[in-house]
Structure 1
């Protein structure tokens, strides 16, 4: 480490240790609020959670803190300007709502009564996402204490929503409504994780999502297969043929135009993915599957993180009960989802899928296609200065090299990227064993405080290495 880096570490770590107990007491208090956005009976608790966080952010030192109401659950906004007008502006995103949880689900203790066992904190929201939101409060205080500043080295904003666990139905509208207040040079998402306890990583991208339901209508009612079979189109057969036509023999999506604009993996990205300690057999065990399968020419991690996919989520039609019922069903349905990567446009995908599906359907069968709201993909180039600052900050905190991953799932972070025009970075310290959405959710305390430490180093590194115009 350089002298300046060593000095920062020697100042930050004692401060964090000195305030560790108080930080955990505060976090436990927040975790006791059952802010379950999906359950109407907890609406008041979600509001109470937002008010609690707002008060704590004011106590932390943020001069501007507001609770933003939505048609659903409230979000919390905070802002702390830097003294230097040329410093970069960063928005930290997370969420304060949590998944439903009850003792009878298999919890060893009350999910809303935090308990420390060993070096782990167990509670609903410990990792997803209250713990990862809250580490920024101690992180910014450690940053100030270590540098002697009275304000962060960057213009720091927080946007902590209250509906992420309910699908973020009002989030994009909220971001568009407050786009001016949220203007930023980069977005930091602290609602994600690392590869493992021993392998710290930063995520550089997240896939987008488009999904649809296709309903195929044939006869006006179920009809006798002996009297009419072989003489009129069968919508269940049409559904089967449509699904069979979705991929070619190399497991590539066969929808014309589907791959238009796809950002291909670079050699460096493939090298970084290949360098991770990936155990495919163990991964298959987690997937409850017996073999890997997917697009030819790509590894399992590349398929999950960096390639677009099409999946059949459901297919049905006709008689489903015991025994037989010899009919031609009047209708059938298929549910499809498409994970998208950087360079793909959900609007283009919708048009392509509609045109493709209609071509697969035989004459005399009506095809109704309904698409849900789409999520765009996001990707940050490896050489982006903000990403490089994040890697350095995490490397200082963990005292080891930091790897790179992507996220195969989708989330509201892409809305921030699209509306604000800012790259999205992922600072998360959760690990797969933390059990998001499951009984006995926990966070590893050593990793939680590494998150605090990373946050403390990040703001100064960004200000030093990434100048913007005032």
Structure 2
């Protein structure tokens, strides 16, 4: 029996288990559901124990629990692989927009609707089926690589305790490669691997001028206007080619290679359709890069909001006392959020004329970007494993969002490989989240092949 046949024979048990897990409303952001998050952790621990993992533990944090499991390879020299995912889910608001109960898993054709179906319970669970398929094919009592799983319970509420949890358990989590199953593919008929995620940091800037709003007829044109200074400051953040003009902003940026850009160019991207989804009539961004490259490979500075002075009905002729703006920066590999914050502060302070005072408030330390090494043995093994499961060449994508993956790579000193089968159309974080059931089975097959591929690639 091969892996595909085993998975086909056991898909009924797999989906029965998944429906049971999805029925647990493990919403980490809602204190009223924290006991449900704990119940979700216990469910997963029991399931992994039933799969055969000899070590399964629930790891408490100051917040909500993670689940750790380990299944050593029979050969102690075999590589060690850590699988990361999360068992908590997003809130379901607005619940009235759901066509089915979010915690009553419902099949429609090949789709399974429920909160967490794609993000991330379905993608976590296919690894358990993949391990079982791998053992059934080999006839062995242990997998060809040591498999560890770390499934956290706070990803959807900021992973606030996750870094410290990894640091406290660094030795037990030691691995040769970390497999991430919390992303998406390009499309069901265009399988792909995510090879990077952008980081992020944000700031609120407040500029203060006169002690109070001033009559513009008496003082206008003779004292600095905070809104005018803010307008100049924000417009100066980009040059004529839409490149960020903050000095030092691009220091250390790791440019994407020609191979990755070529594979991205082969994706069946319809810019007009993309613009329709965005409700925009034109694409615009950094010169020299395609639209996909702009949202995946390049850093950004986006003005999220700007306000000050009189914004109510009617006129009010004043020089306002203050101006405010919120700005977010998406970052790429090689950029450190705290260093970017320092460059932004320097840029603002250098732009201030006499009579204007600035206050900057950053939204925490930020999140670092991450990227896979396209030349690594581990990535090549994962790409081959997915190719065997899908029967197609696996292309590359990145994601514009941010997550804890950079912390995993840094704390565990392990390369990242993304093996995931979610789709952008799965409506993650939105009403009517769903997952394509055939893709979860492809994910399980990919995982089964991955253990075999990594088991023969001892330099992973």
Q: TM-score, normalised by structure 2?
A: 0.97
- 387-396 vs 164-173, greater mean Cα deviation: 164-173
Q: Distance in 1 between matches of 2:67 and 2:277?
A: 36
Q: 1:440 aligns with which of 432, 437, 444?
A: 432
Asked if 1:384 is matched to 2:357, the reply is no
Instruction: Give the aligned partner of residue 4 of structure 2.
Output: 13
Cα distance, 1:102 vs. partner? 5.5
State the 1:150 CA deviation: 1.2
Q: 2:133 aligns with which of 137, 142, 145?
A: 142
Deviation at 1:330, TM superposition (A): 2.0
1:382-440 deviation per Cα after TM superposition (whole angstroms, max 9, x unaligned): 11110001111101111111111111111111110111111111111011211111111
Deviation at 1:103, TM superposition (A): 7.6
On the 8 A contact 1:103/1:109 being kept in 2, the answer is no
Shift, 1:43, TM fit: 1.0
What is the rounded CA distance, in whole Å, between the counterparts of 1:27 and 1:275 in structure 2?
A: 34
Contact 1:143 1:152 (8 Å CA) reproduced: yes
Q: Does the 8 Å CA contact 2:68/2:148 hold for their aligned counterparts? A: yes
Distance 2:20 2:176 in 1: 33
1:178 corresponds to 2:163: no
Residue 222 of structure 1 deviates from its aligned partner by 2.5
Q: Secondary structure at the match of 1:182?
A: coil
Aligned pair count reads: 459
**Per-residue displacement from partner, 1:319-366 (whole Å, max 9, x unpaired)?**
221112222222221111111111222232121111111111221111
Check the 8 A contact 1:102/1:110 in 2, yes or no: no
State the alpha-carbon separation in 2 of the partners of residues 417 and 321 from structure 1. 49
The residue number in structure 1 matching 2:146 is 155
Structure 1, 276-285 or 166-175: larger mean CA deviation: 166-175
The secondary structure found in structure 2 opposite 1:160 is: strand
Q: 2:314 aligns with which of 313, 323, 326?
A: 323
Whole-angstrom CA distance in 2 between matches of 1:81 and 1:355: 51
Match of residue 324 from structure 2: 333
Q: Which residue matches 2:448?
A: 456
Matched-pair contact (CA < 8 Å) for 2:377–2:459: no
Residue 65 of structure 1 corresponds to which residue in structure 2?
56
User: 1:206-233: per-residue Cα shift (whole Å, max 9, x none)?
Assistant: 1111211111112223232223222222
**Corresponding position of 2:115:** 124
Name which of 95, 99, 108 aligns with 2:86. 95
Is it true that 1:360 corresponds to 2:340 in the alignment?
Answer: no
SS for the counterpart of 1:91 is: strand
In 2, the alpha carbon distance for the partners of 1:12 and 1:253 equals 49
SS class of match (2:171): helix
Whether the aligned pair in 2 keeps the contact of 1:103 and 1:110 (CA below 8 Å) is: no
2:124 corresponding residue in structure 1: 133
The alpha-carbon deviation at position 158 of structure 1 amounts to 0.9
1:28 aligns with 2:7: no
Per-residue deviation, 1:242: 0.9
Q: Secondary structure at the match of 2:456?
A: helix
Per-residue deviation, 1:454: 0.4
Q: What is the root-mean-square deviation of aligned Cα atoms in Å? A: 1.4
Q: CA deviation at 1:119?
A: 1.1
Contact 1:216 1:368 (8 Å CA) reproduced: yes
Structure 2: runs of 5 or more not aligned? none
Other structure's SS at 1:233 match: coil
Equivalent in the alignment of 1:418? 410
Q: Name the residue aligned to 1:267.
A: 258
| Offset, 1:456 | 0.8
